[in-house]
Amino acid sequence: MIERSLFSPDHEAFRDAFRRFMDKEIAPFHEQWEEQGYVDRKVWNKAGENGFLCMTMPEEYGGSGADKLYSVIQMEELGRGGFTGIGYGLHSEIVAPYILHYGTQAQKQKYLPKLASGEMVGAIAMSEPAAGSDLQGVKTTAIKQADGSYLLNGSKTFITNGWHADLVIVVAKTNPAAGAKGTSLMLVERGMPGFETGKRLKKLGLKAQDTSELFFTDVKVPAENLLGGQARENRGFICLMEQLPWERLQIAITAVSSAQSAIDWTLAYVKERKVFGQPVASYQNTRYKMAELQTEVQVARVFVDKCVELVAQDKLDTATASMAKYWCSDLQCKVMDECVQLFGGYGYMWEYPITRAYADARVQRIYGGTNEIMKEVISRAMGLGAK
């Protein structure tokens, strides 16, 4: 195996601390959370109390001013444990950075400390029943009123953390006639009249993740809740595009750590399980299959580690991040499928982590932009297809 060179001893000490937190606050409850369809709210507060939310936010806004590698470790560890109900990554490394990068001073001061403490849970609502891949087709509108506020109308679906969310960044058209150039990001808080959370959606996997529908009916959004203020009105699409490389890399990071975990579980199982008087591991088919999977996951890890290095230097481009997202999530699904096969019938039983990991993996090829969209992005960067 190639030794990883990304992390310092301080990073590894953090990994140990986060593992202890997972062992105490997440592992004993995750199965029950899968059954109820959402994690207990207190796991958000506990993470905040222990400094595990918004770690990369500056200290003045309640974060730790940590580098992105700390977040990478957190994602890897959650992926390794199969704790897919936990939405810390989206909250800390997608929602909070929008506010940090594009928010006004007042918005940063108001929201970031509450996101860092776990007092608020964050979500981002782009997708709609009729607009997922084609975000330019978003129908939700936020129309400016005479008093400067916006009237928000529309509905969103498939929203991660949607049911717990206290703060939602809503993608809406402030100038519906202008397409992408009329898109803005609105900060919508729980409790604003007209904002309702719909049902938690029943899913193939990610059973403990509270993926929800959201509805907005004549929600009066104050002018100060336009992300970035007036200067960013109609400029939301650019913000969305700028954040894509890091968002997509996060999916690849989780894919690799989950795939490695599946290999480790399977290795232990095939050594122990006997068929026709011999361990499953003794068959050439098993050994070669395991060798193939480990080789591919090792290759993926080296590529993803390089992308992490680039993102830390602010040099990761969208096409490369799209390669990581598509290739690693495809690989994750392939690894899960092969590992389930090696578990035989037990690989189909929900009580086995490999079975859950198989179900959880499938969505990685769909959300964050489908893998077909990733190939569109890559091929365009190669000078192919529409500009």
Ligand X SMILES: Cc1cc2nc3c(=O)[nH]c(=O)nc-3n(C[C@H](O)[C@H](O)[C@H](O)COP(=O)(O)OP(=O)(O)OC[C@H]3O[C@@H](n4cnc5c(N)ncnc54)[C@H](O)[C@@H]3O)c2cc1C
> Is 247 one of the annotated active-site residues of the chain?
yes
Judged by beta carbon, residue 65 or residue 385, the one nearer ligand X is: 385
**What crossing angle do the helices spanning 353-361 and 318-343 adopt, rounded to 10°?**
150
Task: Kindly tell me which of 140 and 257 has the beta carbon lying closer to ligand X.
Answer: 140
Query: What is the tally of helices (H) and strands (E) in the chain?
Result: 12, 9
Q: Which helix (H) or strand (E) holds 297?
A: helix 284-312
Minimal CB distance residue for ligand X: 132
Q: Which of 47, 126, 187, 280 binds ligand X (CB under 6 A)?
A: 126
| Residue from 71, 107, 140, 160 in contact with ligand X (CB under 6 A) | 160
> Residues 43, 72, 75, 124: which binds ligand X (CB under 6 A)?
124
Annotated active-site residue in 35, 59, 247, 296:
247
Residues 175-234 that bind ligand X (CB under 6 A): 203, 206, 211
Q: Which span sits near ligand X by CB under 6 A: 175-183, 239-247, 335-343, 369-377?
A: 369-377
155, with CB counted inside 10 A (0-12, 13-18, 19+), is middle
Cα(169)–Cα(179) distance, rounded to whole angstroms? 19
Whichever of 133 and 285 has its CB closer to ligand X, that residue is: 133
Q: Please, which residue, 89 or 103, has the CB nearer to ligand X?
A: 89
Select from 8, 302, 372, 385 the one that contacts ligand X (CB under 6 A). 372
Nearest distance, CB of residue 123 and ligand X, angstroms: 6
Report the residue number, 51 or 89, with the smaller CB distance to ligand X. Answer: 89
Largest CA-CA distance found in the chain, in angstroms, rounded: 80
Is there a contact between 58 and 119 (Cβ–Cβ < 8 Å)?
no
Please report how close the Cβ of residue 363 comes to ligand X at its closest, in angstroms: 5
Q: State how far the Cα of 63 lies from the Cα of 83, in Å rounded to an integer.
A: 23
Site membership for ligand X, residue 376 (CB under 6 A): yes
Which one of 36-44, 46-54, 127-135, 264-272 is the stretch in contact with ligand X (CB under 6 A)? 127-135
Distance CA 196, CA 163 (A): 10
Among 69, 86, 125, 333, binds ligand X (CB under 6 A): 125
Interface residues for ligand X in 128-157 (CB under 6 A)?
132-133
The first and second tokens of residue 299, run together, are 């290759």
Q: How many residues bind ligand X (CB under 6 A)?
A: 20
Q: Which amino acid is at 267?
A: L
Binding mask 345-364 for ligand X (x = CB under 6 A): ------------------x-
- Interface with ligand X, residue 165, by CB under 6 A: no
Note whether 330 binds ligand X by CB under 6 A. Answer: no
Binding span for ligand X by CB under 6 A among 30-38, 58-66, 290-298, 366-374: 366-374
Three-state DSSP class for residue 226: strand
- Give min distance, CB of 345 to ligand X, in A: 27
Q: What is the CA radius of gyration of the chain?
A: 21
Round to the nearest angstrom and report the end-to-end CA distance of the chain. 41
User: 262 and 357 in contact (C-beta within 8 Å)?
Assistant: yes
**Is the CA virtual torsion 97, 98, 102, 108 positive or negative?**
negative
Nearer to ligand X, 156 or 301 (CB): 156
Give 355 or 364: the residue with its C-beta nearer to ligand X: 364
159 is an interface residue for ligand X by CB under 6 A: yes
User: Which whole-number Å values give the CA distances from 318 to 137, 323, 363, in the listed order?
Assistant: 21, 9, 20
Taking the complex as a whole, the smallest distance from the CB of residue 60 to ligand X amounts, in Å, to 28
Task: Kindly state the tokens that stand for 46.
Answer: 């506990």
- Which of 223, 367, 380, 381 touches ligand X by CB under 6 A? 367
Which string of DSSP letters, residue by residue, matches 45-100? Answer: HHHHHTT-SSTTS-GGGTS----HHHHHHHHHHHHHHT-TT--HHHIIIIIHHHHH
Where on the chain is the footprint of ligand X (CB under 6 A)? 124-127, 132-133, 158-160, 203, 206, 211, 363, 366-367, 369-370, 372-373, 376
Q: Which residues are catalytic?
A: 247
